[in-house]
Amino acid sequence: MELETDVLVIGGGMAGLAAACSAADAGASVIVVRKGHGATADSSGAIDIAGYLPGGNTPFQSGREGLRAITGLFPYHPYSVLGQESTETGSQFEKALERVEHSVNMLKKWLSGTPAETIGSLERNISAVTVLGTSKPTSLLQKTMLPPDWDDDSILLFEGFAGNPDFNAVLAAKTFMAERARVGEPPKKIADSELTLSPFGKPYNVSPVEIARHLDHPGGTAFLADSLSKDVERTGATHIALPPILGLKTPAENRRILEDRLDVQVFELLSFPPSVPGLRLLRSLDNTLAGLDVRILEAHEAMNYEQSGNRIVRVQCKTHHRSLDILPDSVILASGKFIGGGITGSENGLSERLFGLPVVSEDWTSTDGIRPQRLTRPISINSRGHALFACGVAVDMHLRPLDGSGNTFAENLFSAGSVLAGYNYPVEKSGLGVALATGVFAGTNAAHALQEE
């Protein structure tokens, strides 16, 4: 079977969905093929733009500051690539900032009114609190996850759920308190407690998504409020930190119910997978795409392609028992890194799975034949990160991948997200931000390329 489309997006995470949205916004017909969910669905609820320089220990005060530093220092960073068309309109930083700002505005619009409604800006990084009680700088957060303001009189209660080992309120509270004491900032009083909420009657092996679904049911959140009231009374809590379980459908409404009934401020902590906020984000973006008449072909994997001259003219996809050929005018490769499967590696080195594009390191040097161990450091968790996670494809100023000779691989192939080389998201705290900004830019470029024809 064959399908024609203006833009084919390969990959259905943040980069692919942002690309699809922006291409559709620009009037293109769009098909997304998604072989499975990936890192975006596993994400924490934060949308990082820029938190740190690799190796640096002082967090950026804002996404803007981060963009300035990164574009100044790392010419091969995707943010720098976004700013490359800078000759007429100002500096590389300004151009990059403009593009990232645009993408943030687009995202906020797409997610407006959804369960993943997002707040924050490039003007000030937020110190988000995680399920381990640690803090991290991020630019955007799902609305229910924004830590409220607190002062010296505030009492913050970390509340856990019996039988849900994904979150331990005792250690999270201790970690958070130690951190607050170290920087000398409120809140000064921190408590922890655990309540029993067993959607299926057993106070063990309770998954976060079960609690979230339960809270979406009529009366579910009111019941939680009743259970919480004893702990609020006992601890005098003015603020409550919950693991991210405030519902899949109506988290903001559920939070409001809790706040009204308990007269406290409530927020969710950043999540580890399996992630309720990740699910909210992906579902909300999927719905936005449906509203733009974009088709997402679930469980379809791009397997092969045909090239005619300097253009990709056909992408062969397979699903369980059928195959499907897509005839696109433009293609956006947003297939992710190792989790998404866009980049794979063996003892013989790394490769890009679909087009066989050369994989380069963070400074765009070839990784040809280098075994993965050599792209890592002896210490697992370190602030400089492992080069392995900054490897990917090199691109031109329109985000079109480059071949081994540094030429554009195909004039109608664009790329976005973690398949790109040049950024080390785990240590930079820049993952979804780069995915979003490059996704929007690639989508716009792909749609723009159509109009040129």
Residues 412-431 that bind other proteins (CB under 8 A): 425-427, 429, 431
Least CB distance to other proteins at residue 128 (A): 9
Q: d(Cα 396, Cα 232) in Å, to the nearest integer?
A: 56
Q: In the window 69-98, what residues touch other proteins (CB under 8 A)?
A: none
According to the binding rule CB under 8 A, does residue 203 interact with other proteins? yes
Least CB distance to other proteins at residue 452 (A): 31
Q: In the window 151-170, what residues touch other proteins (CB under 8 A)?
A: 162-166, 168, 170
Span of 92-100, 117-125, 313-321, 326-334 interacting with other proteins by CB under 8 A:
313-321
According to the binding rule CB under 8 A, does residue 204 interact with other proteins? yes
Give whichever of 33 and 394 is closer to other proteins, judged by the CB atom: 33
Q: Which of 87, 320, 369, 453 binds other proteins (CB under 8 A)?
A: 320
What are the Cα distances from residue 401, in Å, to 274, 355, 398, 415? 32, 10, 9, 7
Q: Which of 98, 102, 117, 199 binds other proteins (CB under 8 A)?
A: 199
Q: Which of 87, 308, 373, 451 binds other proteins (CB under 8 A)?
A: 373
Q: d(Cα 347, Cα 369) in Å, to the nearest integer?
A: 8
According to the binding rule CB under 8 A, does residue 330 interact with other proteins? no
Least CB distance to other proteins at residue 427 (A): 6
Q: Which of 183, 184, 379, 405 binds other proteins (CB under 8 A)?
A: 379
Least CB distance to other proteins at residue 100 (A): 19
Crossing angle (nearest 10°) for helices 276-291 and 208-216:
60
Q: d(Cα 55, Cα 424) in Å, to the nearest integer?
A: 11
Q: Which of 61, 112, 366, 382 binds other proteins (CB under 8 A)?
A: 382
Token reading at 277: 């906020």
Q: d(Cα 289, Cα 278) in Å, to the nearest integer?
A: 17
Q: d(Cα 9, Cα 354) in Å, to the nearest integer?
A: 13
Span of 239-247, 271-279, 303-311, 443-451 interacting with other proteins by CB under 8 A:
271-279
Give whichever of 209 and 252 is closer to other proteins, judged by the CB atom: 209
According to the binding rule CB under 8 A, does residue 39 interact with other proteins? yes
Least CB distance to other proteins at residue 80 (A): 21
Of 123, 112, 194, the closest CA to residue 159 belongs to: 194
Task: Give the angle 135-160-114 at the CA atoms, nearest 5°.
Answer: 70
Least CB distance to other proteins at residue 258 (A): 22
Of 432, 434, 407, 420, the closest CA to residue 333 belongs to: 420
Q: Is the peptide bond before 54 cis (omega within 30 degrees of 0)?
A: no
Q: Which of 22, 118, 154, 275 binds other proteins (CB under 8 A)?
A: 275
Token reading at 242: 């919950």
Least CB distance to other proteins at residue 449 (A): 27
Q: In the window 113-132, what residues touch other proteins (CB under 8 A)?
A: 130-132
**Residue 92: half-sphere exposure toward Cβ, Cα within 13 Å:** 18
According to the binding rule CB under 8 A, does residue 274 interact with other proteins? yes
According to the binding rule CB under 8 A, does residue 249 interact with other proteins? no
Of 121, 139, 143, the closest CA to residue 250 belongs to: 143
Give whichever of 69 and 162 is closer to other proteins, judged by the CB atom: 162
What are the Cα distances from residue 380, in Å, to 232, 234, 337, 376, 377? 40, 41, 18, 8, 7
Size, binding site for other proteins by CB under 8 A: 94
Least CB distance to other proteins at residue 94 (A): 28
Q: Which of 2, 57, 149, 308 binds other proteins (CB under 8 A)?
A: 57
Q: In the window 278-307, what residues touch other proteins (CB under 8 A)?
A: 278-279, 297-301
The backbone region for 340, taken as left when phi is positive above 0, alpha when psi lies in -120 to 50, beta otherwise, is alpha
Token reading at 438: 């490059």
Give whichever of 380 and 451 is closer to other proteins, judged by the CB atom: 380
Q: Which of 24, 35, 242, 393 binds other proteins (CB under 8 A)?
A: 35
Q: d(Cα 246, Cα 384) in Å, to the nearest integer?
A: 34
**Residue 287: half-sphere exposure toward Cβ, Cα within 13 Å:** 16
